[in-house]
Structure 1
């Protein structure tokens, strides 16, 4: 079923412009149609009736010379001011006359009603005169009048003025609309920048009251989220730092104890805890002081992969410009590559420079993850109970932190089957 939104513009500016232009064009069209079809047509009909009445008076005078003084005065006035009579031998040939002109049918019908059917009305091309030829007594008579006597020739001035003022009002409306839409677009850019962890330089609430309220609400939300993230980071850093002291004490105590299987298990647990704390501290340190800036994503990926050795190939462009927090993205890519090598024997990294997105694709040949458990893999501290988790240590935060970092930059991390047979992790960032 056809819906209105399927045939109307999708953008706010285009829709608002349509709301302005559609009524103006509709009203202008209706006014023009009514003005010409009713008002102007009636005026030209009245003018045609006047011409037909005067022409009939002249014709009757030709047929019957005995007319009264009043008629004589009227005829003399017409012949001296508006009408010109031409004898048949001096008349313009019919072949030189053109019949088509505005409201020709209206004038012809009025003349035919007064003078009979044998009436011919024509115009010499490029001359402002109308030739009216009719039967008078035994011969044919012709009278000549100015074209403006039969037609309203300045009717178009009304339409010109209407169009002029309509265009003026539309221009003013478009100017006002530009201001309102500009405020909404700036608010959209600011919200997008805030969502990527950046500030829009020079942004302040502007526009209509509702737009200003929305801008203030977004600024307040951004401040609250920033404060929450700072508190979370500070708390995580503090807790991780405070736990390192008792953890070190426990390691020292275990080192002095005699060797046993239980002691080995306890040391393994302590090592896992130490690794988790290192990840928490790395995460906390990465959030602090890492400002958004333009950087070379290609160089960053090659630098990360170089730390895992030459057995991880990298393909794609060597240079790829992106904007974001380099330390946070470096940690996210490190987590993805580390996660791939943790569960597989081979991994591969591919850089893709798309028209709107830059992608870092990490493939491995491990056991993979079922498609219905992809989202579960992004949950914090998630350790999937399948072959991908066997004999693997970790905090379960690698994918979670990578997706959080990507979404903080306006992108995302998603999983898919890999051509190598394992899992593919795709980190996508906007240009």
Structure 2
């Protein structure tokens, strides 16, 4: 029996900090405004308008009754009504009520007045409140004649309710604008901190970044900057130390090379020279893995052109399957070394190597396929361990130090990317290098 998916609030809300903050501010304000407006409409405006319409209907009923009881004196009574009740009455002889009723934008007024007139009057009636003037026209059929009443609008309905609504909406708009401005400044500070942290993590300078925003955001920014300073200091000290070690180790190696160069060319001497050459290569790789070329600055360059240059320089059986123009910002020396390691590693274990450069929406990808023995899935993560060489799927007799993939992944992650090992369509290993484009 399949279970229904559980609905969660976060599935329907925005994921960004600023949209969520805006929703947290606007939604309660809108709900509060709606509740206040409804309460005001139902308990004040509607009640007041009903009382005013009831009074107006009673006055009209009173005037209709006076005409029926005192038809000869109605003109005098009509003048008295105009002065006392501000109600203008006109007799339209031998006329009937209009048949068309004008539609209202706000039908609640029509319902209120219609109900009160229907309760007070026994005669047919017609009214028009659709105009924007200050009077309301009401007609009552009285025998063969029609009595037309012109009453002031503010004596028929409550005409000041919209002022309250305008004030509420205006005040709410000002509060929302202030809140959005405050939230925008705070979120901007967080976004700046995020961009600076990304730049630091990718080995780039964040420019003239300065902490801003609330106290907590400033503290977080200072913590990130302090951490970067400590890491940079540590890396510089490590690089300086390794440079000294490199100098100390290269000096005796150079002396041994000179001594072997002056000896007779025997098989033993040739083996010793080969050992010294391998030691020199291993030393270069160890130092490159440890130092990471910290002094190199990031620059903008064409990633696809760099791959073309590396493939041409390495030669061998590697060929480019497809490329698209991709521009990235990175330390070109490190990227060159990482790509070179990946391609040369594939050439060392395969007869056919295909390379492809793909431009994604956010990441650039380098795909290196080979038809070699590949790496089992359970051992792919071990292949990235420094100085670790696989015995089963990769030939142990192939020269190397076991640092190629380690250096490549370390370089990719320094730039905000990564490397994944997959099964290749060619039957061997697929290496997927991803870098921010």
1:218 to 219, 224, 227: 224
Structure 2 CA distance for partners of 1:369 and 1:310, relative to 1, 3 Å: closer
Alignment partner, residue 351 of structure 1: 357
CA distance in 2, matches of 1:345, 1:280: 28
Alignment partner, residue 137 of structure 2: 130
Structure 2 CA distance for partners of 1:32 and 1:425, relative to 1, 3 Å: same
Structure 2 CA distance for partners of 1:143 and 1:258, relative to 1, 3 Å: closer
Alignment partner, residue 16 of structure 1: 21
2:59 to 54, 75, 78: 54
CA distance in 1, matches of 2:103, 2:146: 17
Alignment partner, residue 86 of structure 1: 90
CA distance in 2, matches of 1:295, 1:258: 47
Bigger shift: 219-228 or 54-63?
Answer: 54-63
Residues 376 and 393 in structure 2, CA contact (< 8 A), matched pair in contact too: no
What aligned pairs does 1:199-210 form with structure 2 within 5 A after superposition? 199-210=205-216
Alignment partner, residue 241 of structure 2: 235
Bigger shift: 40-49 or 6-15?
Answer: 40-49
Structure 2 CA distance for partners of 1:314 and 1:57, relative to 1, 3 Å: closer
Cα offset for 1:145? 2.6
Measured on the aligned residues, the alpha-carbon RMSD in Å equals: 3.2
1:37 to 19, 35, 42: 42
Alignment partner, residue 125 of structure 2: 120
Alignment partner, residue 244 of structure 1: 250
Cα offset for 1:418? 2.0
Equivalent residue of 2:138, what SS? Answer: strand
Equivalent residue of 2:380, what SS? Answer: helix
CA distance in 2, matches of 1:310, 1:392: 16
CA distance in 2, matches of 1:75, 1:318: 92
Cα deviation digits, residues 199-221 of structure 1 (max 9, x gap):
11121100111111111111111
Cα offset for 1:56? 3.8
Bigger shift: 84-93 or 10-19?
Answer: 84-93
Structure 2 CA distance for partners of 1:186 and 1:288, relative to 1, 3 Å: closer
Structure 2 portions without partners, runs of 5+:
1-5
Equivalent residue of 1:342, what SS? Answer: helix
CA distance in 1, matches of 2:293, 2:102: 88
Residues 122 and 131 in structure 1, CA contact (< 8 A), matched pair in contact too: yes
Equivalent residue of 1:388, what SS? Answer: coil
1:95 to 82, 96, 99: 99
CA distance in 2, matches of 1:221, 1:107: 74
Residues 57 and 75 in structure 1, CA contact (< 8 A), matched pair in contact too: no
Cα offset for 1:163? 1.6
Cα offset for 1:368? 1.2
Residues 123 and 131 in structure 1, CA contact (< 8 A), matched pair in contact too: yes
Cα offset for 1:298? 2.4
Bigger shift: 157-166 or 55-64?
Answer: 55-64
CA distance in 2, matches of 1:297, 1:308: 17
Cα offset for 1:230? 2.1
Alignment partner, residue 150 of structure 1: 156
What aligned pairs does 1:26-425 form with structure 2 within 5 A after superposition? 26-65=31-70, 77-80=80-83, 82-89=86-93, 93-95=97-99, 98=102, 102-115=108-121, 117-123=122-128, 126=131, 128-133=135-140, 142-148=147-153, 149-248=155-254, 270-283=276-289, 287-309=293-315, 311-317=317-323, 319-425=325-431
Residues 304 and 326 in structure 2, CA contact (< 8 A), matched pair in contact too: yes
Residues 351 and 359 in structure 1, CA contact (< 8 A), matched pair in contact too: yes
Cα offset for 1:167? 1.5
Aligned length: 422
Residues 359 and 427 in structure 1, CA contact (< 8 A), matched pair in contact too: yes
TM-score (norm 1): 0.86
TM-score (norm 2): 0.85
Bigger shift: 194-203 or 242-251?
Answer: 242-251
